Amino acid sequence: QWEPTDDFLRTDFNTDFAKIDAALGEKADAAALAEKCGAVTGTYTGDGAGSRTISLGFAPRAVILREAEAAAPCFAVAGGPDVVEDYNGEVMMELTDQGFTVHYKVFYIGANQNISSPYTNRGEKTYTYLAIK
């Protein structure tokens, strides 16, 4: 901070304003890039329901979904495989015009309970997603 008795140079102010402009410009560029990219991340806790819709407010081009305990993520891509199926052909995740819908399937082989995978809505499990506009 300068005192009223201090001498100052116009170049001091110009240098400081240039630093401020550069810092604000970097933030604006980062915000513009995020908007242009259109990536949205989020989490939800599975509720074990047979079907559940995650609303994003837009039709995603792609969604990558992963349960914290699962070995690998699953993904759906608009124009490509826009549904994710388990090995029995059951739809486990599908893209919608406002987000994506996940499904939870339990089936029995003999007396053994099995869960269709990839896991998308197991009760009390945390899921993380990345949706691209």
Reply yes or no on whether the pLDDT at 55 is more than 90.
yes
Q: HEC states along the chain?
A: CCCCCCCCCHHHHHHHHHHHHHHHHHHHHHHHHHHHHCEEEEEEECCCCCEEEEECCCCCCEEEEEECCCCCCEEEECCCCCEEECCCCCEEEEEECCEEEEECCEEEECCEEEECCCCCCCCCCEEEEEEEC
Q: Do residues 123 and 110 make contact, with C-beta atoms less than 8 angstroms apart?
A: no
Q: How many beta carbons lie within 10 A of that of residue 92, not counting itself?
A: 22
pLDDT at 131: 93
Write down the pLDDT at residue 9. Answer: 65
More confident residue, 29 or 125: 125
Q: What is the pLDDT of residues 7-39, one digit of tens each?
A: 666 677 677 777 777 776 666 665 565 566 788
User: How far apart are alpha carbons 48 and 126 in whole angstroms?
Assistant: 12
Tens-place pLDDT, residues 66-115: 998 876 788 889 988 777 777 677 788 999 999 999 988 876 666 666 66
Give the position of tokens 């410009």. 25
Q: What is the pTM of this model?
A: 0.67
Tell me the β-bridge partners of 108: 113
pLDDT at 117: 73
Determine contact, residues 131/60, Cβ cutoff 8 Å: yes
Would you state the pLDDT for residue 24?
Answer: 66
